[in-house]
Every structure is written in C-alpha cells, then in structure tokens.
Amino acid sequence: MPLLFDADQAIVLLKLVAAHLLTDFFLQPNYWVQNKERRKERSPYLYAHVLITGTMAGLFTGSVGAGLFVAVTHLGIDLWKLYQTQRSFKNFLLDQLLHISILIVTWLFLIEGFGYLRMVVVSFFGNFRFWAILTTYLLCTYPLGFAVGMSTSRWREQVAAKGESLNEAGKWIGMLERVLILTFLLNNQFEAIGLLIAAKALLRFRDDDLKLTEYVLIGTLLSFTMTIMVGVVLQMVL
C-alpha cells in the first residue's frame, strides 16, 4: 500500500496544525472572544483574529495561497460558530473538526497528495484488518453495554439510590472503559488493564452501601470480561 506522505510532507501538516493551535488558543485573548460573541460580524477582533490566522499559516508553510485559503475558510467557520444559540462541547468539537478538515485539505493541495489519498482510501476499504478492528470497537460500545445492562437488570431494583446520579454517566463510563481495555489488549498492555481495574475499585472502596458496591462490581467485571473475550477473539482472527 503506498504511503500517503513522507517525513517532509508530514512536517507541512504539523506546521499548519501548530499555526492553528497558536492562533486559535494562545494568541486570542478572552476579551476578543467575548467581543466576537457579542458583536458577531461587527467585531473588529473577528477580522484581526482571521488576519493573524491566515498570516501565521502562510508564514509557517511559505505559501500565500495557503494563508488566504485558511483565512477565508476560518472566517466562515467562525461566523457559523458565533450564530449558534449556545456554547456547548458539541459545537466546540464540530468547530475544531471543521478547522482541522480545512487544514488537511490545504495540506493535500500543498503536497499534491489527492491522488495518494484516493489510493489509500481504496486500500483501507478493502483491508480486512481495518474492518475487523473497526467492527470490534463498535461492538464494544453500545452493543456490549446493552448486554451488560440486560445481564444486571435483576439486581438494579435492589440497589438503593443514594442521591441523584449524572444522566447516563454509567453508560459512558462503561463504553470508555471497554474502548480502553480493547486498545490495551491490541497493544499487549495487560498491566494497564490491571491498573484500570484497580482504579475503578478504589472509587468504590469507601462506599458504605454494600448492595450498590456489589452491583457496580458485578457490572464492571462483566463488562471487562466480555471485552477481554471479544479482544482475544479479535487477536486470534488477526
């Protein structure tokens, strides 16, 4: 499979990302952000920020065209963000993904890499290892979480609630820990799995509700066991 880029080409992408991080986080004071949110397209700081962003990208890559393209697209993305009704992690994540996507497109233009990208994408879509790992990660999120929830449902009613819990916190904790376990297994980091189990146990050590502790322990060990079994099967298949 052909490589998408060599070390010199990778440096161009790193320069673009470094320029973005510097201008979007380090070189943008809080009062600029507040003024932009209040005045939107009438804020002079919006255009100052865009100018600095484009200039930094152009200086880092040595390309005036790249700087102009990054500046114009950055302005469009920031205007979209300013008109969102609320500041949320979802909007922040989408904003950064859009910026990074623009940087990748800019990078591919600079290194003339669209032909290589097409070959790599085609190779990935026909790669058994890629699809086996992707499918296993998908299995370890919602489907295994649903299986754990069904398996522990008979004890759920016996657990006495000790105050309100964060909405869907248990579901997300379970998915994240299963993703971590699978990642550790694929990289043969078995000690890290033991550390994760120990850390989870310590969080419940001082809980004086025996039923709740046993319920969490059962769910945790069941989640860990299922994920390890799935990971072992994946390693055998690969």
Q: What are the boundaries of each domain within the chain? A: 7-123, 128-237
Cα separation, 88 vs 93, whole angstroms? 9
pLDDT range class, residue 1, cuts 50, 70, 90: very low
pLDDT in tens, 7-59: 888 899 999 999 999 999 999 999 999 999 999 999 999 999 999 999 999 99
Cβ atoms of 222 and 148 closer than 8 Å? yes
pLDDT range class, residue 191, cuts 50, 70, 90: confident
Residue 148 neighbours by CB under 8 Å, 6+ apart:
174, 219, 222, 223, 226
User: Vertex 176, ends 172 and 179: CA angle to 5°?
Assistant: 140
pLDDT at 120: 67
Four-residue CA torsion sign, 144, 155, 169, 199? negative
What's the start-to-end Cα distance of the chain, in Å?
Answer: 18
- CB-count burial class (<10 Å; 0-12, 13-18, 19+) for 171: middle
pLDDT at 234: 92
Angle of helix 142-151 relative to helix 169-186, nearest 10 degrees? 120
Question: In 10 A of CB 128, how many CB atoms?
Answer: 9
Four-residue CA torsion sign, 198, 203, 207, 211? negative
pLDDT in tens, 139-159: 998 899 888 888 887 777 776
